Homo-oligomer: A and B are copies of this chain.
Amino acid sequence: MSHPFECKYGYFSDDGREYCITTPFTPRPWGNIISNGDYSLMISQNGSGYSWRGNAGQNRITRSFQDLIKDNWGKYLYIRDRKSGAFWSATFKPVMHPYEDFLVVHSIGYSRFIQVIEGIRSELTVFIAPDAPVELMQLTLTNLGEDTRELDVTSYAEWALGFAPDEHREFHKLFIDTSTDFTLNAVFARKYLWGFPDEHGRYNNINWPYTAFMAVSEPLVSFDCDKESFLGMYRSEEHPAAMDAQHLSGRVGRFHDAIAALQVAVSLAPQQSKTVVFTLGAAEDEKEDAAALIRRFTSVEASRQTLQAVHDFWSRFVDGEHVETPDPALNFMTNYWLKYQAISCRLWGKSAFYQVSAGYGYRDQLQDSQIFLVGDPSFARKQLLMHAAQQFIEGDVLHWWFSIRGGGPRTNCSDDLLWLPFILDAYLKETADYAILDEAVPYLNAPAEPLYDHCKRAIERAFSRFSPRGIPLMGDHDWNDGLNAVGTLLKGESFWVAEFLYVILGNFIPLARRRGDECFARRCEDVRVSLKDALNRFGWDGEWYLQATTDAGLPLGSHENDEGRIFLMPNIWAIISGMAEGERTRKVVDSITRYLLKDYGTLLNYPAFTKPRPDVGYVTRYAPGLRENGGVYTHAATWSVWAYTLAGEPERAYEAYHKICPPNRSADIDTYKAEPYVTPGNVDGPQSEYYGRGGWTWYTGSAQWLHRVATHWILGIRPQEEGLLVDPSIPAEWDGFTVRRRFRSAEYEIHVRNPEHVHRGVKSLVVDGKPLESNLIPVFADGQKHVVEVVLGRKE
């Protein structure tokens, strides 16, 4: 099979799960974020890799992008020919030795580095045990030549244990203690200081509660725990002193800049192969035993079994749903990479090359958790309850919080609290698990109440922050964090929040009635009426809707503005919410298409701000065309796909989707620069010098939403309370598509044919051989597989 997405730097493998990179010289660090939930790894195609356990915000990595590539707290394997003295690394970095062959594969739960150098083929596979805080580096060396080769393999990792080590490493490194155990072929590191207070609030008075280790499956020849003796003064990982020495120095203790370096010997007859396994991990002292983890994982057999377990583990999350459409980019991304990105990076790793997270964002991981809905909705349920517990009895929430010790900012953000009922609706539509409404969850400052009350208090809090014209206040900001000066004095309004709240109320009213809360249901109905009226009266600018008014009463996103004349969010959500009607819908859609739908996706606003506006906020401080300032902010751009389908413009919807679906940038990769297998946070807009450049990949809420708009709004397979709706909005040239997915404990295999080449409209629908009148597939909940045959076309 030919590869539909080749570019000069690589291609997707046949199964669409692996992305294969054929050169170390990509224009940005194309990487992989591998996580098992507790332990995470960030690794680039050059081999620069970090690992950390627990919440990334607590074990923070604060190195920047160029530094990551040039120099880092990395982990490397050196391969050396003991006769010739030649040495190289199992990844391109750090030695950067010329290679005869080079291939890096990033995939679902592992990365693989294949090189041929000096007649030795090396294949390094890096992954994390699904059920333990252990990273495995499985290295297979093959002698391609005619002579026996005497090699050694030397691992190297810098310890960065605990809290924010970069902030004062000269101090923190003094507390790391290293030791070795030849019976385990391992070195250990502990740290006698942690960035958290003890029970009396005293800082610097407790141990880091883990024992870190590195171990190897072969007999240990020598080791080192001292960076200085390993690297040598004034030297670097590229050519460490250790590669000039017979053996490693064997230094341990508490007096060094601590590293882990293990050296083993590998002798290879011609054509012989040998596999060596290195493990790296951190055992929690009160729960886990480092020696037991080492014994369990540090062997070739264990490594192979664990890699199989990795495949099984990820299958649970990615294989519960599968689509086949004529669009290979949509297939690849929807079936594998978007799910993987959302789960491994956003929900678990919470760090990426451009950004580390300080914990869970209230809005962020709630939205991301929708990715679990098909594969395993219990994870979404857990996330909903976790976020509900970060709410105050007053209804507002921590804007983000640390996941180890808790704590975070309580702000006047106007939308964060509302995402709880919004995502709850998606969860209920998928699962009909109304029992979740009764789950008692504590507030941060009050005893537990049912989840229903959490949502109601969030809505009531939103009700308490309205302008006298009936528009929600902007507060510290809305979804767009960069509007952080528009409404801090609690006068400026957010028209987008009006629309978002309108949607939420629409969903919540039936829930209130279901619980007999008729009084609140009526209140919500009244507010909906009022919101729609106020939006259309005060938020309409003539050709589109306003974004906001400032504390000074100035409009934002208006034809009256020279810069920031039109914003995407209030316009797409006017459609999503159904608040725009008739002629206005058409005008709004036309304005979006005309001003915002550009070559590389839908812009967040236009024209960009060229000068800082202190009455608007930091969005105006970015360069024009960058990120939220006139760039394609991918998170919002996915919603434009949704809006176009609702507005009855399926071709535009598909166009807006196609432009931001990463593999479609493969032919254009030197402009795009980013990995074509995960979404970027943003793409530079037309006012940027780098129009079309992708930025801040991996850690972005767009991954889950790009998945969702494809499955729910383009393919149109949407869970409803009573069943699974089939309502595609597809390109007319498609002959059809197939969706296989779980829904309420049954398996649905949905074949959609499009013989008339329409965009939309279900002509007939047959379930298990029985024709249905509607396009709503019933709930079976029988654990069985059901085959659905759908034909699109004009009804006679």
Write out, one digit per residue, whether chain A residues 65-85 have a CB within 8 A of any chain B CB (1) or not (0): 111011100000000000000
Instruction: Report yes or no: B205 in contact with A614, Cβ–Cβ below 8 A.
Output: yes
Q: Does A325 contact B (CB under 8 A)?
A: no
Q: Which residues of B contact A69 (CB under 8 A)?
A: 233-234
Instruction: Report yes or no: B255 in contact with A170, Cβ–Cβ below 8 A.
Output: no
Q: Does A211 contact B (CB under 8 A)?
A: no
Q: Which 3 A-B pairs have the closest CB atoms?
A: A254-B623, A64-B169, A192-B621
Q: Which residues of B contact A618 (CB under 8 A)?
A: 193, 204-205
Q: Which residues of B contact A648 (CB under 8 A)?
A: none
Partner pick for A70 among B171, B203, B236, B485, CB 8 A cutoff: B236
Number of interface residues of A (CB under 8 A): 66
Stretch at the interface among A133-141, A268-276, A297-305, A688-696: A688-696
Q: Does A547 contact B (CB under 8 A)?
A: no
Q: Does A783 contact B (CB under 8 A)?
A: no
Give chain B nearest CB distance to A690 CB in angstroms.
Answer: 6
Cα distance A465–B66 when bound, in Å?
52
Instruction: Report yes or no: B617 in contact with A168, Cβ–Cβ below 8 A.
Output: no
Partner pick for A168 among B62, B96, B205, B254, CB 8 A cutoff: B62
Cα distance A224–B785 when bound, in Å?
63
Partner pick for A255 among B228, B484, B623, CB 8 A cutoff: B623
Mark A residues whose CB is within 8 Å of B.
24-25, 27, 46, 62, 64-67, 69-71, 96, 166-171, 173-175, 177, 192-193, 198, 200-207, 227-228, 231, 233-236, 253-255, 257, 354-356, 484-485, 488-489, 612, 614, 617-618, 621-623, 626-627, 684, 688-690, 696
Among residues of B, the one whose C-beta sits closest to the C-beta of A231 is B66
24 residue pairs bridging A and B, Cβ less than 8 Å apart = A24-B234, A25-B233, A46-B234, A64-B166, A64-B169, A64-B170, A66-B231, A69-B233, A170-B354, A170-B696, A174-B623, A174-B627, A175-B622, A192-B612, A193-B618, A198-B485, A200-B485, A201-B488, A203-B484, A205-B617, A207-B612, A253-B623, A253-B689, A254-B626
Q: Which residues of B contact A168 (CB under 8 A)?
A: 62, 355-356
Among residues of B, the one whose C-beta sits closest to the C-beta of A621 is B192
Instruction: Report yes or no: A202 in contact with B169, Cβ–Cβ below 8 A.
Output: no
Instruction: Report yes or no: B227 in contact with A175, Cβ–Cβ below 8 A.
Output: no
Instruction: Report yes or no: B193 in contact with A621, Cβ–Cβ below 8 A.
Output: yes
Cα distance A146–B170 when bound, in Å?
49
Among residues of B, the one whose C-beta sits closest to the C-beta of A191 is B621
Instruction: Report yes or no: B485 in contact with A175, Cβ–Cβ below 8 A.
Output: no
**A355-B170 CB under 8 A given contacts A202-B484, A253-B623:** yes
Instruction: Report yes or no: A626 in contact with B174, Cβ–Cβ below 8 A.
Output: yes
**A255-B689 CB under 8 A given contacts A65-B170, A193-B621:** yes
Give chain B nearest CB distance to A202 CB in angstroms.
Answer: 5
Give chain B nearest CB distance to A91 CB in angstroms.
Answer: 13
Give chain B nearest CB distance to A673 CB in angstroms.
Answer: 10
Q: Which residues of B contact A354 (CB under 8 A)?
A: 170
Partner pick for A200 among B66, B173, B489, CB 8 A cutoff: B489
Cα distance A170–B681 when bound, in Å?
13
Cα distance A205–B484 when bound, in Å?
8
Among residues of B, the one whose C-beta sits closest to the C-beta of A65 is B170
Give chain B nearest CB distance to A141 CB in angstroms.
Answer: 25
Instruction: Report yes or no: B622 in contact with A174, Cβ–Cβ below 8 A.
Output: yes
Cα distance A203–B482 when bound, in Å?
10
Among residues of B, the one whose C-beta sits closest to the C-beta of A27 is B233
Give chain B nearest CB distance to A233 CB in angstroms.
Answer: 6
Beyond known contacts A67-B71, A202-B485: 13 more, CB 8 A cutoff: A24-B234, A64-B166, A65-B170, A66-B231, A69-B233, A166-B166, A168-B356, A175-B622, A177-B623, A204-B484, A205-B618, A253-B689, A254-B623
